[in-house]
Amino acid sequence: MGFADKYVWALGASTLQDDETHHATEPLFAAAVADTVGIGIGALLSRVKFADGSISKVFESGTQNLPHLIRTWSALVAQKGEERKWVKIRAEWDVAAASALYARVAQRSLAHWLDGKCKACCGTGVTAERRICQTCKGNRAEEITGQGFEANLVKDMISELDGLLQAHNARAAARLRREPAGSIL
Ligand SMILES: [Zn+2]
């Protein structure tokens, strides 16, 4: 089992006893520790992406973790946008335009990262007639549409999300290797 699988399993485990047969608390503990080293968003990403049920329903129904994730991610994107000067602030109007851009980039990147499958073919790349899907040209992912500048920012932020989750999983997995079963209590 990879770390993400162990983590999801632990979240869903009915018992949190940690003995020879139940190592459920171990990945949770490792994830919590990994997050204190990182920026705190890794465990949340993992929870929402892998454990909150059908992702396509997540944005409509909302889950406990999603609003928290949207807030955390939006703040992070706004911070990056300012640092990287996505918008040159010359007038008061630019401040409003910049916040609107940060919010759109944050929402679109998170939505795509959580569920970026091509809707026309449900991410299979082929149609029911076994032809290559014309919408995604067979590459299975939903196209990131819109103006070039903004679309590129959305793509950058999707890579950031991938990076954050990978870094989180690597830290948590390293912690699990250092602390063999039973020794973390
Ligand atoms: Zn498609």
Q: Which residues pair with 132 in a beta bridge?
A: 126
Residue 138 Cα, ligand 1 centroid: separation in angstroms? 6
Residue 88 Cα, ligand 1 centroid: separation in angstroms? 37
- How crowded is residue 23: how many other Cβ atoms within 10 Å of its Cβ? 18
Confidence (pLDDT) at 15: 52
Give the highest mean pLDDT range of 126-130, 158-162, 166-170. Answer: 158-162
> 141 pLDDT exceeds 80?
yes
CB contact at 8 A, 150 and 105: yes
CA dist 16 and 22 (Å) reads 7
Residue 162 Cα, ligand 1 centroid: separation in angstroms? 22
User: Does residue 177 or residue 102 have the better pLDDT?
Assistant: 102
The predicted model scores a pTM of: 0.70
Binning pLDDT at 50, 70 and 90, where does residue 83 land? very high
